[in-house]
């Protein structure tokens, strides 16, 4: 929405566009973005792990995994037929190219099964090369978004 406001795409919502432009300016000059276990690269396998970790009963897990499979298949097929880039690639590219916030803190762990720490390491290095002020808090023993619970002092 901020990109649309800056580019003039929000013609019917003048006041909203002005507010978003002000927010964008503030984020670029004073903002600090904290990313806890994020961004996660959108591997297909991650979608299945999300179901495994969040759904308690086996029958429901199987149903949801089937729905995830169908959704991925439809999305990939639609991208192929339309000759458009896949959503996972678009997401990652947008994350890499974002200039919304010039200061970012990344909090993550090497044992997190939802967030690929190696991919996140690559992402952080790319952000640093873009001139983003990056702070990293990397653990080796806390699971996805449980870093504050396991390491409250460091997290604070």
> How confident is the model over 21-63, as pLDDT tens digits?
888 888 888 888 999 999 999 999 999 999 999 999 999 999 9
Could you state, in order of their start, the residue ranges of all structural domains in the chain? 28-155
Report the alpha-carbon distance of residue 21 to residue 17 in Å, rounded: 6
Pairing mode, if any, of strands 133-139 and 33-36? unpaired
User: CB of 17 within 8 A of CB of 31?
Assistant: no
Q: Which positions ≥6 away from 79 have C-beta within 8 Å?
A: 85, 86, 87
Tokens representing 98 are 């974002």
Whether the model pTM is above 0.85? no
For residue 8, the model assigns a pLDDT of 82
- For the residues of 76-137, what is the DSSP string, one character each? HHHHHHHT---HHHHHHHHHHH--S-SEEEEEEETT-SSS-HHHHHHHHHHHHHTT-EEEEE
Tens-digit pLDDT profile for residues 52-63: 999 999 999 999
Tokens representing 65 are 């995994």
């Amino acid at each position: 929405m901020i990109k649309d406001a800056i580019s003039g795409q929000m013609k019917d919502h003048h006041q909203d566009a002005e507010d978003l432009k002000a927010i964008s300016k503030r984020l670029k000059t004073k903002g600090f973005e904290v990313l806890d276990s994020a961004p996660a690269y959108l591997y297909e396998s991650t979608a299945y792990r999300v179901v495994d970790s969040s759904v308690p009963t086996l029958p429901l897990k199987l149903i949801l995994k089937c729905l995830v499979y169908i959704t991925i298949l439809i999305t990939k097929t639609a991208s192929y037929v339309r000759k458009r880039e896949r959503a996972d690639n678009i997401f990652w590219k947008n994350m890499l190219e974002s200039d919304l916030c010039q200061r970012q803190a990344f909090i993550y762990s090497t044992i997190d099964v939802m967030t690929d720490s190696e991919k996140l390491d690559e992402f952080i290095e790319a952000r640093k090369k873009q001139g983003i002020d990056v702070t990293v808090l990397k653990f080796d023993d806390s699971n996805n978004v449980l870093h504050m619970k396991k390491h409250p002092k460091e997290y604070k």
